[in-house]
Amino acid sequence: MASQTKPVLHGYFRSSCSWRVRIAFALKGIEYDQVPVNLIKDGGQQLTEQYQKLNPMQQVPAVEIDGITLSQSLAVIQYIDETRPGPRLLPADPKKRAQVRMISDVIASGIQPLQNLYVIQKIGAEKMQWAHHFIDRGFQALEPILKQTAGKYCVGDEISMADICLVPQVYNAQRFKVDVEQYPTIKRLNQTLVEIEAFKVTNPSCQPDTPADLRA
């Protein structure tokens, strides 16, 4: 049985990993509380001793749910899918479920970590070119995969964890000036998804910790 206590999401408005969890909660209709963790202010609030107790990797998100704390977005998504009612975020069919996990891992392991804040801070002056290169490289792999798996959404005609991963990654691609026009399947899927309410209300432009100058 799921706990009646609202989950608590410790995250950052522009973190794609935090955004994935917000989308999953929205798709499932789960109410939750947000505790902002500013990755830039005070040298990075994720680096405090207090936050490290929640997430030893000193990253966002950390989610307190059902008496446990989970600190990887895909683990959180799969947990809430297994414990909460609402639309499935992983398909029942084993082949489609494997495809969803494959696409999610391409993004969550093969693209996003190479352009996250901690990495590009280490790169220094070349950070824009670095992020652009690795997102572009990842999209070159993702586009032919999605051509094979996509229907209306990333895998067939049901929204899944793969779509939850795709939208924040396209948002990052646009931030780092990647030409998404080169990837027609990615572009089409993203255009469809960003019009869905769960993706709109969780956008970085409208979060409690979004700076005033970045609000939509």
Asked if residue 49 belongs to a domain, the reply is: yes
23 and 46 housed in the same domain: yes
137 and 178 housed in the same domain: yes
Asked if residue 146 belongs to a domain, the reply is: yes
For the cut 90, the answer to whether the pLDDT of residue 118 exceeds it is no
Residue 199, C-beta contacts closer than 8 angstroms, at least 6 positions apart: 23, 26, 167, 193
Alpha-helix runs per DSSP H in 30-153: 49-54, 73-83, 94-110, 117-123, 127-149
Q: What is the mean pLDDT of the chain?
A: 95
Q: Are strands 33-36 and 8-11 parallel, antiparallel or unpaired?
A: parallel
83 and 99 housed in the same domain: no
The rounded distance, in Å, linking the Cα atoms of 103 and 187 is: 15
122-150 per-position pLDDT tens digit: 998 899 999 999 999 999 999 999 999 99
Asked if residue 159 belongs to a domain, the reply is: yes
For residue 124, what pLDDT is reported? 87
Asked if residue 131 belongs to a domain, the reply is: yes
pLDDT band, residue 117 (cuts 50/70/90)? confident
60 and 117 housed in the same domain: no
When pLDDT is averaged across residues 115-124 and rounded to a whole number, the result is 89
78 and 100 housed in the same domain: no
Mapping DSSP to helix (H, G, I), strand (E, B) and coil, where does residue 160 land? coil
15-66 per-position pLDDT tens digit: 999 999 999 999 999 999 999 999 999 889 899 999 999 999 999 999 999 9
For the cut 60, the answer to whether the pLDDT of residue 2 exceeds it is no
The rounded distance, in Å, linking the Cα atoms of 43 and 77 is: 29
92-112 per-position pLDDT tens digit: 999 999 999 999 999 999 999
Residue 183, C-beta contacts closer than 8 angstroms, at least 6 positions apart: 139, 142, 143
Asked if residue 194 belongs to a domain, the reply is: yes
Q: Which domain holds residue 166?
A: 94-199
139 and 195 housed in the same domain: yes
For the cut 80, the answer to whether the pLDDT of residue 188 exceeds it is yes
For residue 116, what pLDDT is reported? 87
Per the CB < 8 A criterion, the answer to whether 154 and 146 are in contact is yes
Specify the CATH number for the domain of residue 46: 3.40.30.10
Asked if residue 204 belongs to a domain, the reply is: no
163-173 per-position pLDDT tens digit: 999 999 999 99
Of 139, 163, 138, 149, the C-alpha closest to 95 is 149
Give the chain's domain count.
2
Residue 1, C-beta contacts closer than 8 angstroms, at least 6 positions apart: none
Q: What type of residue sits at position 20? A: R
Asked if residue 214 belongs to a domain, the reply is: no
Asked if residue 206 belongs to a domain, the reply is: no
